[in-house]
A and B are shown apart, each in its own frame.
Chain A
Amino acid sequence: ERPGSGSGVRRGACQGRFPRWRPPACCAAAGAGWSLGSWGWGAAGPGLRPARSGRIEGKIIEDVKTPTPPNPSGQCPICRWNLKHKYNYEDVLLLSQFIRSDGGMLPRRITGLCLEEHKKVAVCVQMAHRAGLLPNHRPLLPEGHVSKKPKLNRYLTRWSVKSVKPIWKRGPKWCRVPFRVGHPLLMDNINYGQKPVYLNH
């Protein structure tokens, strides 16, 4: 069950400054973490008693010790860890923290990313899936379904494989139809080599 927006006692203190679904920070920072079972019924709220009155126990669990990010004043995880223009489709360890087990992206309100970074991470995750770098994050297929699609290696694919049509006529050199590679959102990435990032091949 999701924690509610705070018990009745604390709601008045932090009213209006947080989205409704997110508990205010004063509720979350209560020292050692509370186990989920004891969250909702800690204080005396009118509608929060369990349906059957039984024995309720609270367990104090150890907080997971995450190292402090180098820039704690950032708004999203990427800014806090100073990774703004520094990741690509190959950084699977980073991308795997923002995806579900079947490969889809987690919503922005859960991960806390800002809009542009969320879009960039989504694009990188799509490219990583198409490059085959996330083999265990596949959607569940019923039975032992064997796909008849040819398994071709690819990388930096901008569009989905099924949606792309062949370019039958590319045109003369002066007005060539280019092959689009990569994604324009990742144009601002830091490039340590001397060659620029080419998006049109």
Chain B
Amino acid sequence: MASYTKAAQQWATFARAWYLIDGKLQPPGKLAAMSVIRLQGKHKPMYHALSDCGDHVVIINTRHIAFSGNKWEQKVYSSHSGYPGGLKQVTATQLHLKDPTAVVKLAIYRMLPKNLHRRTMMQRLHLFPEDVIPEDIRNNLVEELAQPRRIPKRLDEYTQEEIDAFPMLWTP
């Protein structure tokens, strides 16, 4: 720190970083919790609510998120237009098929603090249904964050040696 000029130190402290999160087979709630921390800037020791220190977050593969339990069928997203008979209730499955980024977007929107900064932070969030990212965003990315959930291996992903090393528990 001693060798940097004041201007360079200020630039390094307040520069906005771009983080990448892969949402494949991940629960959207946990993705949202990680992204909300970084969008607000709470992962930085010099956080202050007024100092606009949030970073950008890019989430890819939102089409392949995984809900635990039966939430795909049970979770209902409701909205009301304000007019009588204007209640629209959609299950998570239907919403996801219509818009593959909507589930993650709503999760993050509802987790952010309910103030005027929320809209700016949502503008700094970038969601992509597959892993196709525009060139300029890809050049900005600084770090890929670890996935929140450990993905279990499928049976055909185990090598034959691992399958043979596992003992037979019972003989017919």
Chains A and B are bound partners: yes
Which of A78, A133, A166, A180 is within 8 Å of B69, CB to CB? Answer: A180
| Residues A166 and B156 in contact, CB atoms below 8 Å apart | no
Q: How far is the CA of A159 from the CA of B74 in the complex (A)?
A: 11
Q: Which residues on the B side are within 8 Å of A105 (C-beta)?
A: none
Which of A69, A134, A179 is within 8 Å of B75, CB to CB? Answer: A179
Q: Which residues on the B side are within 8 Å of A78 (C-beta)?
A: 169
Q: Which residues on the B side are within 8 Å of A111 (C-beta)?
A: 170
Instruction: Count chain A residues whose beta carbon lies closer than 8 angstroms to a beta carbon of B.
Output: 47
Tell whether B15 is near chain A: CB-to-CB under 8 Å.
no
Q: How far is the CA of A168 from the CA of B88 in the complex (A)?
A: 11
Q: Which residues on the A side are within 8 Å of B64 (C-beta)?
A: 153
Within 8 A of A (CB), among B124-160: 152-156, 158
Q: How far is the CA of A90 from the CA of B68 in the complex (A)?
A: 13
Size class of the B contact interface (CB-based, 8 Å)? 20 to 34
Q: How far is the CA of A128 from the CA of B23 in the complex (A)?
A: 20
| Residues B153 and A167 in contact, CB atoms below 8 Å apart | no
| Residues A93 and B154 in contact, CB atoms below 8 Å apart | no
**A41 shortest CB reach to chain B, Å:** 21
Q: Which residues on the B side are within 8 Å of A64 (C-beta)?
A: 168, 171
| Residues B156 and A181 in contact, CB atoms below 8 Å apart | no
Which of A67, A93, A180 is within 8 Å of B70, CB to CB? Answer: A180
Q: Which residues on the B side are within 8 Å of A161 (C-beta)?
A: 70, 72-73
| Residues B76 and A166 in contact, CB atoms below 8 Å apart | yes
| Residues B69 and A135 in contact, CB atoms below 8 Å apart | no
**A70 shortest CB reach to chain B, Å:** 10
| Residues A134 and B155 in contact, CB atoms below 8 Å apart | yes
Q: How far is the CA of A111 from the CA of B73 in the complex (A)?
A: 34
24 A-B pairs within 8 Å (CB atoms) are namely A64-B168, A66-B167, A77-B169, A83-B169, A90-B152, A93-B163, A93-B166, A131-B152, A134-B155, A135-B154, A136-B155, A150-B97, A152-B67, A152-B72, A153-B25, A154-B69, A155-B68, A156-B69, A157-B70, A161-B73, A166-B73, A167-B74, A179-B70, A180-B70
Query: Chain B: residues with CB nearer than 8 A to chain A?
Result: 25, 64-76, 89, 91, 93, 96-97, 152-156, 158, 162-163, 166-172
Known: A93-B163, A166-B91. 19 other contacts (CB 8 A): A64-B171, A69-B167, A69-B169, A77-B170, A81-B169, A92-B154, A111-B170, A131-B152, A132-B154, A133-B154, A135-B156, A154-B66, A154-B68, A154-B70, A154-B72, A157-B69, A164-B74, A170-B76, A179-B70
